[in-house]
Amino acid sequence: MQQGLDTKVIRKDFPILSTLSHGKPLVYLDSASTSQKPIQVIEAISAYYKGYNANIHRGLYEISVRATEAYTGSKDLVARFVNAASYRNIIYTRNTTESINLVARSWGEKNIGKGDRILITEMEHHSNIVPWQLLAQRNGAILDFVRLSRGSGGIDMDDLKAKLAEGPKMLAFTHASNVLGSITDAKKITELGHKAGAVVLVDGAQAAPHFAVDIGEINPDFYAFSGHKMLAPAGIGVLYGREELLEEMPPFLGGGDMIRSVDFKESTWNELPWKFEAGTPNIEGGIGLGRAIEYLNSAGMKMIRAHEVALTAYALERLSSEAGVTVYGPDGQDTEHRGGVISFNIKGAHPHDVATIFDSEGVAIRAGHHCAMPLVNKVLNEPSVARMSFYLYNNMEDVDRAVGAIAKVRKVLRLQKPR
Ligand code: PLP
């Protein structure tokens, strides 16, 4: 059942999972929002503060050298984790949102002008919509959306091809939807984008934490993800960029560390990736991310994916026998094209009430528009949806507790059980 991942052992690494919520053992089903942190990551951060806290890149003393090595060394781990060519391609930001803003500001200002087209999809998170809206407003560009294929929760490939024929300069799309759970064919879509002459950005916020991402194979120009969704602390994010593009792009922010030389009139820029990291960075974040990646590697990304598929299949099956429950995303029991994210609604219950009643049972889920208002409001035609999402530390009992909470929702809200 566990497909090789020993959740009993894994769960012991996550102190929060042995706490109580409303007097009941916490069931955490909101990892799509942020993940819990294993003791190994917490201790790595604590070891830095206790043993070698110093600024990086400028110290000539031992603890600064150690901090520099730990921080920069984490970039090698990140590069290998997503199969990028080198740490030179790995820019640290605060999160996926900042990574996409960096591209929209730096690459976008230089390359997108009046009448140019930017193509995204209907299932993007706000962080892959708003930076492009702002760029389009500033520079008079046209922002267009690829439709979703009804039912399957995926991208409508015919519509994609038709819109690519209009020659967008940028194609930006998500590798995995935080609402529908759908996993997109990033390699194929990137290939189509490149054939049409577009620069391609992939939002990997819901992908990199959950399955093996191979940038060498997908071949995007930019790939963005967040540390906090993959066991690392908040405030550290990643932007992978193709070297030729990064070299040509102007800096995003100016200040210390991103320069080679500064004169009263002008400055020259540091080499990659430091040209895009101004000021003292999130040192503990980089160190924590490195340790988180080691943890994920030792669990095995293939094992994590298989485990999440098993949990999702079980949850979909259990939800399908709950009358009055609508599940959104890829059709039926399809788990091949779905990550461990299940958005759902219970007939007659507001999703916020659902989440509150789940919470009273110690089950943490999320409800709302999930920062994807166009998708939830216009495509799904719902004001909001409830969402449970899984990670390597969840188990089948967590699913049982969540599905069990549906009965409590019916009881508290006095819903008739639909036939
Ligand atoms: N993209 C997707 C698909 C997401 O799910 C999220 C966060 O939920 C983001 C981007 C933004 O991530 P962050 O808030 O870490 O910048």
Same domain, 269 and 326: no
Residue with tokens 């604590």: 46
Q: Domain count for the chain, please give it.
A: 2
pLDDT tens track for 20-39: 999 999 999 999 999 999 99
My answer on whether 292 and 324 are in the same domain is: no
pLDDT score for 151 = 67
Question: Is 107 found in the same domain as 76?
Answer: yes
Tell me how far apart the alpha carbons of residues 64 and 57 are, in angstroms, rounded to a whole number.
8
Q: Please check whether residue 337 lies inside any domain of the structure.
A: yes
Dihedrals phi, psi of 42, to nearest 5 degrees: -60, -40
Q: Is 226 in the pocket of ligand 1 (CB under 6 A)?
A: yes
In a domain, 143, yes or no: yes
Q: Which of 263, 297, 331 is the last residue of a domain?
A: 297
Ligand 1 probe mutation, 30, 95, 96, most atoms within 8 A of CB: 96
Going by their DSSP bridges, the two strands 142-146 and 117-121 should be labelled as parallel
Whole-angstrom distance, CA of residue 53 vs CA of residue 38: 21
- Give 321-344 pLDDT, tens digit per residue: 999 999 999 887 788 899 999 999
Which residue has the CA at smallest separation from atom 6 of ligand 1? 205
Q: Could you tell me if 119 and 238 lie in one domain?
A: yes
**pLDDT reported for residue 285:** 98
pLDDT at 391: 98
Q: Give 259 Cα–ligand 1 centroid separation in angstroms.
A: 30
> Do 108 and 248 belong to one domain?
yes
Q: What is the pTM of this model?
A: 0.97
37 Cα: distance to centroid of ligand 1 (angstroms): 18
The answer to whether residue 2 sits within a structural domain is no
Summarize pLDDT for 253-296 with one digit per residue, the tens. 999 999 999 999 999 999 999 999 999 999 999 999 999 999 99
Residue 328: name the closest of 371, 373, 290, 381 by CA: 381
Q: Are 97 and 14 found together in one domain?
A: no
DSSP H or E stretch at residue 245: helix 243-248
In a domain, 35, yes or no: no
Q: What is the DSSP string of 309-328?
A: HHHHHHHHHHHHTSTTEEE-
Query: Alpha-carbon distance 130 to 384, whole Å?
Result: 20
Do 321 and 234 share a structural domain?
A: no
Residues 158 and 248 placed together within one structural domain of the fold:
yes
Task: Pick the atom of ligand 1 nearest to 178's CA.
Answer: 5
User: Among 252, 274, 297, where does a domain finish?
Assistant: 297
Q: Would residue 371 show up in a list of annotated catalytic residues for this protein?
A: yes
Final residue of a domain: which of 297, 328, 361? 297
Atom from ligand 1 closest to the CA of residue 124: 3
In a domain, 377, yes or no: yes
Which of 171, 218, 371, 399 is catalytic? The answer is: 371
Helix 283-299 with 39-51: angle, nearest 10 deg: 150
By the 10 Å C-beta count (0-12 exposed, 13-18 middle, 19+ buried), 267 is classed as middle
Question: Same domain for 373 and 255?
Answer: no
Residues 6 or more apart whose Cβ sits within 8 Å of residue 318: 399, 400, 403
Mean pLDDT of the chain: 96
* Residues of the chain where predicted confidence (pLDDT) is lower than 70: 1-3, 151-152, 417-419
> What does the pLDDT read at residue 59?
79
Q: Which domain holds residue 346?
A: 7-30+301-413
Residue 136 lies in a domain: yes
pLDDT (0 to 100) of residue 331? 80
Is residue 161 domain-resident? yes
- The answer to whether residues 312 and 286 belong to one domain is no
pLDDT at position 2 is 42
Measure 96 CA to ligand 1 centroid, in angstroms: 6
Residue among 320, 410, 311, 400 at smallest CA distance from 362: 400
Asked if residue 293 and residue 175 are part of one domain, the reply reads yes
The answer, yes or no, to whether any atom of ligand 1 lies below 6 A from the CB of 345, is: no
Q: Which atom of ligand 1 is nearest to the CA of 33?
A: 8
Per-residue pLDDT at 419: 64
Strands 20-21 and 24-25: antiparallel
Mutate to test the pocket of ligand 1, among 35, 101, 127 (most ligand atoms within 8 A of CB): 127
Q: 260 CA distance to ligand 1 centroid (A)?
A: 33
Q: Quick one: which H or E segment has residue 49?
A: helix 39-51
* Residue 51 Cα to ligand 1 middle (Å): 33
